[in-house]
Amino acid sequence: MDNINREYIDSYIKNLIPDENEKLEVFRKECEERALPIIHKEVGQLIKLFINQVNAKSIIEVGTNVGYSSIFMSHVMNNQGKIVTMERSEKFYHEALKNIKSFGLEKNIDVHFGDAVEILDNIGGTFDIAFIDAAKSYYKTFFDKCCQKMKSGGIILSDNVLYQGMIATDDLVVRRKKTLVRNLRTYLEYISHDDRYITSVLPLGDGLAVTLIK
Ligand SMILES: C[S@@+](CC[C@H](N)C(=O)[O-])C[C@H]1O[C@@H](n2cnc3c(N)ncnc32)[C@H](O)[C@@H]1O
């Protein structure tokens, strides 16, 4: 039972999405078999839409894991754009480097090892899209730091913002997630009510917030 969407809706939407790259599909299946926390397929499809809509050439990502989403986004940009991504787990960082190399994308994707809270202060350049997909309690910090690097009209996408439905109702909150839930609720209030941003929170995957920086 999915606490955000009914399963038949999720699987119907997923089945509408065409598989465009066989190697990427094999990589997705391997990640799913290992239960790695990669983007939901339908979230990937919306990211694809935004990349095309803003004609994105530069993306900053917080939370690389084994590199699936950065490789996916690089493909969407026809391997022409630049992605800067960061990962604090040494194991996943090395896996990401290996995977990115196997797709021949070393020149397109820069992976930084370490805590994004620190790395974000040392990244230069400006970006069309930011994708926040790491420690949920730090989303506001990640957002504020990414915001300073966005081009005008840039979009910040924040994944897992409904966190298995817990963010929307106390009935679902488990004790050990109370701090995370409080922080994500504060985050959603912030990006929804600050005049500098226009935010839409979508019940897609585990919840995706789309924020336009005015
Ligand atoms: C949900 S996964 C990212 C999945 C990836 N974006 C994808 O869809 O393929 C989150 C990753 O962020 C990393 N992470 C969490 N907090 C972080 C932080 N403060 N700095 C850097 N990486 C972090 C975790 O180790 C984990 O691998």
CA 173 to chain centre: 23
Distance 11 CA to ligand 1 centre (A): 25
Among 37, 52, 24, 78, residue whose Cα is nearest residue 205: 37
Distance 20 CA to ligand 1 centre (A): 25
Distance 204 CA to ligand 1 centre (A): 19
- Counting atoms of ligand 1 from 1, which one is nearest the CA of 61? 6
- Counting atoms of ligand 1 from 1, which one is nearest the CA of 63? 12
Distance 187 CA to ligand 1 centre (A): 18
pLDDT in tens, the chain (214 residues): 589 999 999 999 999 999 889 999 999 999 999 999 999 999 999 999 999 999 999 999 999 999 999 999 999 999 899 999 999 999 999 999 999 999 999 999 999 999 999 999 999 999 999 999 999 999 999 999 999 999 999 999 999 999 999 999 999 999 999 999 999 999 999 999 999 999 999 999 999 999 999 9
In the chain, what are the domains?
7-213 (3.40.50.150)
Pocket test for ligand 1, best of 129, 133, 142, 157 (most atoms within 8 A of CB): 133
Among 112, 181, 184, residue whose Cα is nearest residue 143: 184
Distance 186 CA to ligand 1 centre (A): 20
Ligand 1 first shell, C-beta below 6 A: 37-39, 63, 65, 68-69, 86-89, 92, 115-117, 133-135, 138
User: In this structure, what token pair is assigned to residue 115?
Assistant: 């805590």
- Counting atoms of ligand 1 from 1, which one is nearest the CA of 38? 8
Pocket test for ligand 1, best of 27, 62, 64 (most atoms within 8 A of CB): 64
Task: Give this prediction's pTM.
Answer: 0.98
